[in-house]
Amino acid sequence: MLRSLDAVSTGDASLVGRKAAQLGALRREGFPVPPGLVLTVEAFDAVLDELRRAARAPEGVAAADLPLPPEVLHAVEDIAARFPDTELAVRSSGVAEDAPDRSYAGQYTTVLGVRGHEALAEAVRTCLASAFSRQVTAYQDPSGTYPGLAVLVQPMVEAVAAGVAFSVNPVDGSRDETVVNAVRGLGERLVSGHAAPDEWSVRGGSAPQRTAGAEDALTAGQIARVALLTREVADWAGCPQDVEWAWADGAPVLLQARPVTALPKAPEQIPVDVEIPPGRWLRGGYTLKPLTPMNVSTLIRAVNKGSEGLFRYAFAERIDVRSLGGWSYLRIVPLPDDAAVRERAERVATAVRADEPFSLVESWHGEWHPQLARRTAEATGTDLGALPDPALLDELGERIALADHAQHLHFLVGGASSLVWGELGVLCRDLLGWEASDVLPLLTGLPGKSSEPALALARLADLARERPGVRAELEAPTGESVSRLEEHEPEFAAAFGRYLEDYGQRCLGADVAEPSMREQPVTVLRLIAGQLSAGSDPQQAMRRTVREREAAADRARAALASGPAGAAERFERSLARAEQAFPLRDDTGFYAHVCWGQVRYALLELAARLVRQGLLRTADEIFLLTVEEACDALRNGTGLQDLAHRRAGEQNWSAAHLGPLTYGEPEASVSLDDALEPLPPHSRELLEPVRWIDSVSHMGARGSAAEGDTLLSGTGVSAGRYTGTVRVILSEDGFDRLRPGDVLVCPETTPQWSVLFGSIGALVTDTGGLLSHPSILAREHGIPAVVATGNATEILRDGQVVEVDGRAGTVRVLDAGQAR
């Protein structure tokens, strides 16, 4: 009559009820289910027999009048003895409940806060009597039989928050969305309807988005862990699950899991034709979602148009980015033939001889940077809502043209700048015998847009640290925090507003459909809160990096003091030029992303007008259109709802059909040695910076897991050793999940990720090399980093404890048991 929860599984449902059987199976699989004892269906049968012997109709019997036979009372005493002085949760567990076609949700009774033998006996009576209630009789099978009922008894969970979660969207049937409802305290407040819960939406690896509620029950990071648990339960069960959970002792606890019933059909999927052009195509590493038509018609078009500048001093034609099956694929277009290769080599040699690359660096500093800064500031100050429709379309066109220009400059100046500081690498190699790892400290920690956002965020954290009211608000920032700070902490609010204006305008992802940080101020407030709680100081790390840079320069000067005549002067000149050039890859990229953010804001205003005119259902649908389609709709009043609906179906199909890593066969390409071989010796010498940059860029082959997946190998790019907790973040919309001191594990980073580096303890990436963006940022912040692991995001899981060795290039899993 009594079973331990540890001794039951799904095959015991007829004896312990479906709820207890499911929880027992989950507990045995390692899920966080509290221990418990089950008063089996034998007790229910004994009570039913007792009623029949007394010739009493079971239907509607009151709990107080329900007879408990001696053997049932003895079992209750046994349960009470096993949980002395413990508050208990007493739950009904029906044989017929939680079935795929009929859930019995809310039909049976739960009694919480039970302590002592007498109270437990009363709670058991209440649960068993609920099987005979009129509402259950009306709900159950019309045959009139009473499905068996067991009673599950568990220690109460001391919950700070609780709720329900669905591994799918129960309203529209979206299979890629997890919905979490949360309230403070016990979940009974939610189930009984006494509280309006926070409602969160979690899609894939994206950060949770709160869609309703003001309970502030949990942080977005905590909700992400609840969503992950819910998806893991669904994966284990093999079907969508409705989960009851509680948050206790810093982790989610599983209280119930059952199939989602009456689930709507999944969103429509409309197949997309996949036509593969000739050549070798590699799926974009930064793209975790299908490309939107709007992005293809704006940013992707600009990338394809402007990428020739990136190869102005290199031996390929350009980048070609296409949407294949809805996903971003990239091809490096080779030069067409040997004659084109020879012509390119001669042209690059002539350009280097004329010092053209450094002239472009000077043009950036003296002309293009001030111009972009002024024009983006003007765009920020424009009241888009006040513009008439024709003026808005003109403004959108001007912003796209400016973004095209900024994207072109990013490629052109970024490519040119590498040759300039490549000259320093060649000089240090030839005069000092230095490797690339000796040269790069000369250029690490230079002022620029790669480090500015994190340092400015640290200054905000310093400002918050001095103000108790700000600190209190940052303990649990919400959507109302900004307005409260404006009212009560105006100095901090003003500084925060300037930060969003200076650094928050960029689109966070590689798609104009992705929101900027200015649109997500709570994410920024949480990053500040993380720095406060961790006590981290990115400014101190940067000062240390500056000292190391100065020490590297002093070592070079000391070695050259007794070197060949003029060597010291050549070093100083080359170092000064390299210092101007090295930060420009990130600086130019920063302004390109700011310009695309300004394009996004204009598109959102255009979308709002199309919605008001009934031409679109929601503002987000504008990203399912091309820019030409959206503009024509505003001019002509063309309805776009059917087109947006079809494109949404195509996006759903693409999301469910991720393409392969590559299409096509590898193409013949010219090696750098072959390209330079026809040149005369003096010209080949001029192009040594090209060779040096090429060799350094390719340092760091893809690593792999070894030793039973307890060790990953990659390329160590920032020395040091750190032990911490893994946080896998696949895209920018996962920033909310980061906690202070985490080991950030990601595919790669872009400049937008720089705000995280003041909070993390170490970095691990799938791809990259010595000169990749994450490597540079890690060295600037003094963070141990391993890149080019190949598959860290697939092997490592949130919650694991790892040791990162940034010198050896290894990541060792120390505690795999915390992965769930």
Q: What letter does residue 296 receive in the DSSP assignment?
A: I
- Give the per-residue pLDDT at 677: 79
- Closest residue by Cα to residue 351 from 320, 318, 311: 311
Alpha carbon distance 450, 447 (integer Å): 8
Please indicate, yes or no, if residue 394 is contained in any of the structural domains: yes
486 and 460 inside one domain: yes
Residues 152 and 162 in one domain: no
Look at residue 82 and tell me whether its pLDDT is greater than 90: yes
One domain, residues 72 and 103: yes
**Across the chain, what does the average pLDDT equal?**
88
Average pLDDT over residues 596-602: 97
Same-domain check for residues 134 and 164 = no
Which two tokens mark 328? Answer: 């971003």
Has residue 749 got a pLDDT over 90? no
pLDDT reported for residue 287: 66
What's the token pair of residue 602?
């204009």
Q: What is the pLDDT of residues 615-660, one digit of tens each?
A: 999 999 999 999 999 999 999 998 999 999 999 999 989 988 888 8
Q: Kindly tell me if the per-residue pLDDT of 720 is higher than 80.
A: yes
Provide mean pLDDT across the span 466-470. Answer: 94
Helices within 561-583 (DSSP H only):
567-581
Domain of 484, in residue numbers: 452-536
Task: Indicate whether 415 and 464 sit together in one domain.
Answer: no
Q: Is the pLDDT of residue 416 over 90?
A: yes
Q: Residue 722 domain-assigned?
A: yes
DSSP for 461-491 reads HHHHHT-HHHHHHHTS--TTHHHHHHHH-HH
Question: Is 175 a residue whose pLDDT tops 90?
Answer: no
Q: Is it the case that residue 132 has pLDDT exceeding 90?
A: no
Helical H segments across 217-337, by residue range? 220-237, 293-295, 301-306
Question: 198-203 and 209-212 as β-strands: parallel, antiparallel, unpaired?
Answer: antiparallel
215 and 322 share one domain: no
Is pLDDT above 90 for 539? no
Q: Which pLDDT tens digit goes with each residue over 347-398?
A: 999 999 999 999 999 999 999 999 999 999 999 999 999 999 999 999 999 9
72 and 4 housed in the same domain:
yes
Residue 740 lies in a domain: yes
Highest mean pLDDT among 217-226, 554-563, 810-819: 554-563
- Within this chain, do residues 241 and 293 fall inside the same structural domain, yes or no? no
Residue 206 structure tokens: 């994206």
Identity at 292, one-letter amino acid code: T
What does the pLDDT read at residue 91? 94
Instruction: Please say if the pLDDT value at position 709 is more than 70.
Output: no
- Can you tell me the distance from the alpha carbon of 452 to that of 462, in angstroms, rounded to the nearest whole number? 15
Task: Mark whether 513 and 415 lie in a shared domain.
Answer: no
Same domain for 90 and 231, yes or no, is no
Q: Of the ranges 103-107, 318-322, 671-675, 738-742, which is most confident?
A: 318-322
Range of 172-176, 197-201, 557-561 with top mean pLDDT: 557-561
Tell me: the pLDDT tens digits for 497-531? 999 999 999 877 778 998 898 998 988 998 898 88
The number of domains in the chain is: 5
Asked if the structure places residue 273 within a domain, the reply is no
In this model, does residue 337 exceed pLDDT 80?
yes
- For the residues 404-430, what does the mean pLDDT come to? 96
| Residue 506 and residue 477 share a domain | yes
Give the best-scoring range by mean pLDDT among 26-30, 400-404, 701-705: 400-404
Say whether both 311 and 413 belong to one domain: yes
Domain containing residue 718: CATH number: 3.50.30.10
Residue 69 near residue 46 (C-beta atoms within 8 A): yes
- What is the rounded distance in angstroms from the CA atom of residue 103 to the CA atom of residue 100? 7
Helix (H, G, I), strand (E, B) or coil at 667: coil
